[in-house]
Structure 1
């Protein structure tokens, strides 16, 4: 059992044998063995058919997928895994039928044949390592191994995804964004802010939109950022008082931009002045009625005007019709 998943029998302990002769490494030149009487060439013509895992100094290794030079891997004819057009190694817990090739160079020629002999090989991805269903070679050939594992071999736990060889949260979706207003000098901005739910390095795509008079959302602006917030100016042209505004955010892994979370949208933000309650009937019964005038955005004084209470205020006008009170508001 690994990452909450049931492993195939050949991945479990006892389900495969281990080939861990370090001379099988692609970096090892067999010429040293030719000069030594202590070690013979590796020959897999007598290998017992079965599932095998490669290890180099007790660490998982894999069969190389590029042509190997002759007289390497402790043998004269190194065997490597050939991936044809459209072929790839299996993903986590997948199994795939592939072909291995033996490299050879004829003594009478300086040219090298990367695939002099072909050998069928079944490959199983066990998550943290590969296992290979091997059979004896046709002569004195040796299966090669590389000390690096392809990043696709990593099996991540529930809710995680393999990104560049590391397990990361499968869903980098940020929290629901919130829109608030801020003022800098005489300029009013709206700020879209959210929280990250991942410990990974993320980038964010933030989009602003508003509701048209016909009830359709019109996109105003989109930007990419590494911050968990973004701004848009309430400039009176593209974005005005009285607009109903939304922002949305989606995130992606910086080292793998193709892995993106879903887009999350904020609640509606009304940019302007509103009355609470929006409508009310007031009777001439001597009772006290309270209404709240609320501005969702700051209203800065015009640049250069005196910042006195008389010069920079909101005026409210009260009118009545058929014993109903209505408020009209203007900015001065």
Structure 2
């Protein structure tokens, strides 16, 4: 388990992280989200022992990151933001070097390097100097060093930064696969990554956790989640909105588009999934409205993220 207990960090008088607490169990992939300067990277650095907390504690697999730092670090793989590499080494040489640092030697080290090169699709550049790699391949090498020793716990800061769409797909698939038996935290500002990879997400703003839920649970916090979008053709001179707002179970409506007799209307329900669509269809038939489509909407993470973080900034 990865555990944060009331982690706090001051820089001078500025409190960058304020009593952050959470746990990540094996089998979980936690997305750590927040705007710039929210405290994401600072929290990651405290979890990995690269930055001492001002207060609170962190543990990796039961090992305190300060009191038992070496054992905690042995259990984890860490991909920092803008991870440093030795540019004058070949890809294979760099990974062999990392293997030795991780305590691997001989056949065990060779097998780990070969396995990781294959898993991270580095075969084509294995003999190339790291300093000559594209940003995407450089990021893959950095990712490779974090998983080389097959750690039980992974902490990844922006793991798909700089990758093209195909490379992002490959890395996300790899993270999902590893997440079956590892505890993984990944910091990202790419909300689609949370939907694609994560089983859970935390939103942090101003150094404080504002939300901790599954992606589905976060989307459900959107006002639009469960709303119905109806496309009507209405009789000349008719205004269906007052009648629509009088349908049982309707909180309010919002006219999204209107072009002559055609209208696109969002209908907000009192309660999601209570059969409102059937009642709207019945209302349309009774009023002589041509109901062309009726779609239930799903909330979007970007809407929830903005609502939470903008509220904290204001």
TM range (shorter): under 0.3
Higher Cα radius of gyration: 1
TM-score by length of 1: 0.27
- Larger RCO (alpha carbons 8 Å, 6+ apart): 2
Larger strand percent: 1
Greater helix fraction, Structure 1 or Structure 2: 2
